[in-house]
Amino acid sequence: MPFLVAAVQTAPVYLDLLASLAKAETLIAQAATQGAALVVFPETWLPGYPAWLDSCRDVNLWDSPAVKQVYRRLAENSVVVPGPVTEALGAAARAHGVVLNISVHERVLAGRGRGTLYNTMLTFDADGTLAHIHRKLMPTYTERLIWGQGDGRSLHAVPTAVGRVGGLICWEHWMPPARQRLHESGEDIHVAAWPQLKEMNLVASRHYAFEGRCFVVAAGALMQVKDLPAGLEPAPELPTDPDAFLLRGGSVIIGPDGTILAGPVYDEELILMAEIDLARITEEQMTLDVTGHYARPDVFGPAA
């Protein structure tokens, strides 16, 4: 049976976890009211992608008091999993009967020492259960200043009320073994979480849908110059207009043959929606199935 999926393209309240959580709850309710059965948010939407790593001066300077203060604020506004924030998100999914995929800065407190931060994707089933936790395997370039490395145990789709849902975060989409591991887990719907969808990010998302013969919901966020953290100096090449966009969205929903079903949309706050029918997946497997007749395990060997 066809159903609606939604990509939420908006800005959080940057570096304010509780205000961003309240906004997320409102957006989940809005998407559900519009009929969405699956609601997807962009990369580290709680409490916002750290674009300041590439958009401000001297971020990589050793022992910078200003940067350390921003990092402290980020850590203090990151999500403990499980914890009160995940309980609230699960309650929102349950109250509105939606499958929810939302990416966060995760602060790990358990175990030895003071823990670390991760770029983490959370999937909640429609009954509110936290069904899956995936930490980004390899933070990209400057992101390594703030995030630890995830592990591969989460590279699989999980059953939900809308089908088998999996996901990758940003440049994980250019890691072929990660893609194949997810393909082999039988994804129906793939979540592609990005800070924004530039041209190559859109190419990667469409390629993933075509390769995996699955639907892709790719979500990108919005961020304006004025959203950069106070105390950091914007890079000289940035626009001087405080309302200019640093992150432009570009959210898109893609079919299992790579066809764009909705989007991409830039520089606009919206909930992007499209109707999908999982029966289309089997139709497209006739010509390409990288886990079936195109897998050739006799040549490439079993999956790791």
Judge whether residue 304 has pLDDT over 60.
no
What is the model's pLDDT at position 231? 83
What is the model's pLDDT at position 113? 63
Residue 43 a catalytic site member: yes
Residues 248-267 have a mean pLDDT of 97
Residue 44: both structure tokens together: 């580290």
CB atoms within 10 A of CB 227: 21
Q: How confident is the model at residue 64 (pLDDT cuts 50, 70, 90)?
A: confident
Rounded to two decimals, the pTM is: 0.93
What is the model's pLDDT at position 63? 86
Unique residue bearing structure tokens 């029918």 = 277
Where does residue 26 fall: left (phi above 0), alpha (psi -120 to 50 degrees), or beta otherwise? alpha
What is the model's pLDDT at position 158? 98
pLDDT per residue as tens digits for the range 225-244: 999 998 888 888 888 899 99
Cβ contacts of residue 60 below 8 Å, gap of 6+? 142, 145
Residue 17: both structure tokens together: 């976890």
Q: Which residue out of 43, 106, 187, 284 is catalytically annotated?
A: 43
Q: What is the CA radius of gyration of the chain?
A: 19
Alpha helices in the chain (DSSP H): 17-33, 52-55, 65-76, 84-96, 176-184, 199-212, 279-285, 297-300
Residues 267-286 have a mean pLDDT of 96
Judge whether residue 150 has pLDDT over 60.
yes
Q: How confident is the model at residue 298 (pLDDT cuts 50, 70, 90)?
A: confident
Going from the N-terminus, what domains does the chain have, and what CATH number goes with each? 3-300 (3.60.110.10)
Hey, which bits of 150-204 come out as E strands? 158-160, 163-169, 189-193
